[in-house]
């Protein structure tokens, strides 16, 4: 099975800002971007001076962590009751 884009590039020099992935523009990075049909703009990094791809929303660890936080915040409602689902009550005299 082919890994996701981030899994394929994580060994390459990169950084991020929230969910945006900054990937140093190398031949290998370009090849992987083409293979995964990923696009992004480029900029010159002010600190390293390297040409870098800015790929919006592609930094997978950001989304993984956001998902964990979201599930944790809803944890109580997502827990399974060990006693099973609530059983329907007996109908009342008016049939409900």
What pLDDT does residue 69 have? Answer: 73
In order of 5, 15, 60, 79, 90, the CA distances from 55 in angstroms are 11, 11, 11, 36, 58
| pTM as predicted | 0.68
Q: Count other Cβ atoms within 10 Å, centred on residue 18.
A: 9
Residue 39 covered by a domain: yes
Residue 89 covered by a domain: no
Residue 47 covered by a domain: yes
Instruction: Quick: pLDDT tens for 27-79.
Output: 999 999 999 999 999 999 999 999 999 999 999 888 878 777 776 776 644 44
In order of 2, 17, 34, 42, the CA distances from 91 in angstroms are 55, 57, 63, 67
Please state the separation of Cα 42 from the chain's center in Å.
Answer: 22
3-state secondary structure of 15: strand
What pLDDT does residue 68 have? Answer: 74
Q: How many domains does the chain have?
A: 1
């Amino acid at each position: 099975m082919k890994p996701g884009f981030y899994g394929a590039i994580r060994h390459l020099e990169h950084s991020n800002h929230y969910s945006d992935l900054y990937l140093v523009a190398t031949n290998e990075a370009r090849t992987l971007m083409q293979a995964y049909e990923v696009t992004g703009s480029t900029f010159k990094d002010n600190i390293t001076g390297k040409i870098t791809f800015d790929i919006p929303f592609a930094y997978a660890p950001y989304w993984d962590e956001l998902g964990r936080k979201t599930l944790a915040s809803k944890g109580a409602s997502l827990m399974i009751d060990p006693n099973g689902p609530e059983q329907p009550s007996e109908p009342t005299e008016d049939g409900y």
